[in-house]
Structure 1
Amino acid sequence: MRSLAFGMALIATLILFLGGCGSKTPEELFNLAQKAENEGDFEEAIDFYTMLLNKYPQNEHNYKAQFMVGFIYSEELKDYDKAKVAMQKVIDDYPDCDLADDARWMLEHMGENLEQMEFMGEAKGGS
């Protein structure tokens, strides 16, 4: 009897949780992703960005979410294989967006130390 009550409570909790997630607007999902990222919960940030992309495939700002997925994989999680797939998707699916060139640049320089690159660029320009 006790396990039945626990099971029912678990199901009710899941329904409330999933129902709550289902009612989020694209802006809310994007904000939740940014909040998770700022708090260092990168996997959760990717989950929210992915939820946005899947639930609202025609949203005009999806290219930003797709780019952020690639950026987090590359710069925070160092999972370059997943980062490359995500960045290529920005280029393929949103070729005219304002982040397409950034995605190309990220693909070319993925795994490099960006801080070191900026320093080297300043040194070359300053000599």
Structure 2
Amino acid sequence: MKYALLLPVIALLAACGGPKADSPAEVSARIRTMEDSVFQSLTFDQRKAQALLDVYKAYANANPTDTASAEYLFRAANVAKTMHDGEQSIALYDRVIKDFPSWRRLPDVLYLKAFTIDSELDRKGEAETAYREVIDRYPDHPFAKDARVMIENLQYTDEELIERFQAMNDSTAVLP
């Protein structure tokens, strides 16, 4: 008798299937709404940022070959950096590099990865290697020039950099 009651329930569940997955366009619209909520606020809401980060990653996991996934992973890396989660940011940049090797914004990804290693993780040697990758792969890109400057500045402490910038600013000041 117990099985006779269970059979219609199983049949009903099988017939209904599961919940219909949202289309990429529907998910993208939801992402835009979440972005507006996170970025239009005057204060940074860590909870909303984490939710947005999770949605970006979920989209990329559900649509691994969609070029929009590259953009969302890139944005997720930037949100992670804003949240001072350098390790997650680097992992997301690495995923873009691995999964979308010909993406048009790859120079940006490589440079921001290097910058994150430098500024968030304070790993100077690893940052130099990452900056050199930008220069080697994209020697004519504007970020290659920036990477050269960043490599030069790796040798200085924050205080020394401030002094250097102040000295440069003082030397270019125009007298009345």
TM-score (structure 1 length as normaliser): 0.77
Query: Which residue pairs with 2:63 in the alignment?
Result: 23
Query: Which residue pairs with 1:7 in the alignment?
Result: none
Paired AA for residue 61 in structure 2: C
| Deviation at residue 92 of structure 1 after TM alignment | 0.4
Counterpart-to-counterpart distance in 1, 2:163 and 2:117: 20
Percent identical pairs in the alignment equals 25
Query: Which residue pairs with 1:110 in the alignment?
Result: 154
- What RMSD over aligned residues (CA atoms) do the two structures have, in Å? 2.2
Paired AA for residue 123 in structure 1: D
Match of 1:84 among 124, 128, 131: 128
Could you say if the C-alpha distance between residues 107 and 55 of structure 1 is closer, same or farther in structure 2, counting changes exceeding 3 Å?
same
**Structure 2: where are the runs of 5+ without partners?**
1-56
Spell out the pairing of 1:1-127 with structure 2 (5 A cutoff).
21=61, 23=63, 25-112=69-156, 113=158, 114-126=161-173
**Larger Rg: 1 or 2?**
2
| Deviation at residue 78 of structure 1 after TM alignment | 1.2
Q: Deviations over 1:63-94 (max 9, x none)?
A: 11111111111122110111011000000011
Task: Provide runs of 4+ in structure 1 moved above 6 Å.
Answer: none
**Structure 1: where are the runs of 5+ without partners?**
1-16
| Deviation at residue 116 of structure 1 after TM alignment | 3.1
Paired residues in the alignment total 111
Q: Deviations over 1:8-30 (max 9, x none)?
A: xxxxxxxxx89963635110010
TM-score (structure 2 length as normaliser): 0.57
More RCO (CA 8 Å, sep 6+): 1
Paired AA for residue 106 in structure 1: M
Paired AA for residue 49 in structure 1: Y
Paired AA for residue 123 in structure 2: D
Paired AA for residue 125 in structure 1: T
